[in-house]
Amino acid sequence: MPAYNTRFDLGLEDLDLIESALQTRKTDLSLKRLHLLAEEGDGSADAAAELDRINQSLSETHELMGRLHNQKVFYRPRAQAAPYVGG
């Protein structure tokens, strides 16, 4: 049985592109959710199912963005003339 590849050779530009795409997806899903909630006067089962699907996709996208963020190693200069002020 083949194993999954656990090493990925991605550059900073690749990760930036992935994060931008995820942010765009999150924005699109949020707008769809907002539009659906604004129209949800009928309370149909189809609208409720679509809202659940959108909420699930938003949650998964948000969690993936968090996992990518948590894998970053942030640089902090060691030797400087002035003190480092991080934000």
Percentage of the residues of the chain whose pLDDT score is greater than 90:
47
pTM for this model (two decimals): 0.73
CA angle 38, 44, 45 (to 5 degrees): 120
> Region 62-84: what's the mean pLDDT?
79
Q: In the structure encoding, which two tokens stand for residue 40, read together? A: 């949800």
Cβ distance 49 to 39 under 8 Å? no
pLDDT tier at 84, thresholds 50, 70, 90: low
More confident residue, 72 or 43: 72
> Region 55-71: what's the mean pLDDT?
94
Residue of 11, 10, 58 lying closest to 33 (CA atoms): 58
Whole-number Å distance between alpha carbons of 22 and 59: 12
